[in-house]
Amino acid sequence: MPATASSASPQPIIQVEQLKKEYGEHQVNALKGVSLSIQPGEFVALMGPSGCGKSTLLNILGTLDEPTDGQVLFHGEPLFGKSEKALTEFRRKELGFIFQFFNLLSTLTVRENVSLPLDLDDRLPEAERSKKVNAILERVGMSHRADFFPATLSGGEMQRVAIARALVHQPKVILADEPTGNLDTENGTAILKLLREVSEQEGPIILMATHSEEAAACAHRIIRMRDGQIRHE
């Protein structure tokens, strides 16, 4: 076998090509031509000061927003240009989102919140659904709160539930936007440890935006951004 074959990278899960984003009439250039690729199994931290474009990039990767120019490839296939139906399917099957403010639905119990991504798939029998929900609540250490409402939980517990919801349908990609931004140091550290374990055991790629060096240090790789661009030092 030639020497180059063993060192060749596998096919990236996500490839971002020259992504640009301009916002509205104020002509804010939030992304100015960002390119990167993420390999299977990677946990990547997207670091940079507030306003540098981290959330914009995550939102475009999650197809919640469209780029002004450039493309995102998922397993080599361009996302932008697909029908709205295909994008909805992509989000439902392949993505899990984790947010700074948890975004749990306050009128649903922990169990019901975690079940949401599965409820979108009406082919999955109820018994299967609750088996998966129970297993993932166990995984994040929240089984004992399954029938509680979010308002009765601490921030760290809410984020555990949000992580369970992001994982329950076994997506290939987890997008986490400042997941520890609203937690104290102790809870933040525990959440980062959980994300690292999830990356190693469950194996989705994780892309985590953060402006904290401590949080970024938990990832396998750090991509640094400034002013809508990747810094190559």
Ligand X SMILES: Nc1ncnc2c1ncn2[C@@H]1O[C@H](COP(=O)(O)OP(=O)(O)O)[C@@H](O)[C@H]1O
Residues contributing to the site for Mg ion (CB under 5 A): 54-55
Q: Which residues pair with 224 in a beta bridge?
A: 47
Q: At its nearest, how many Å lie between ligand X and the CB of residue 86?
A: 24
Q: 165 contacts which partner out of ligand X, Mg ion, none, CB within 5 to 8 A by kind?
A: none
- Closer CB to Mg ion, residue 55 or residue 109? 55
- Closer CB to Mg ion, residue 54 or residue 160? 54
Packed helices 155-167 and 185-201: angle between N→C axes, nearest 10 degrees: 20
In whole angstroms, give the CA distance from residue 227 to residue 54.
Answer: 10
Q: At its nearest, how many Å lie between ligand X and the CB of residue 207?
A: 13
Query: Contact 220/44 with Cβ under 8 angstroms?
Result: yes
Query: Contact 58/177 with Cβ under 8 angstroms?
Result: yes
- Closer CB to ligand X, residue 30 or residue 45? 30
Q: At its nearest, how many Å lie between Mg ion and the CB of residue 52?
A: 9
Locate 166 and state its tokens.
């992001």
Q: At its nearest, how many Å lie between Mg ion and the CB of residue 33?
A: 19
Which positions lie near ligand X, rule CB under 6 A? 23-24, 28, 30, 48, 50-56
- Closer CB to ligand X, residue 19 or residue 30? 30
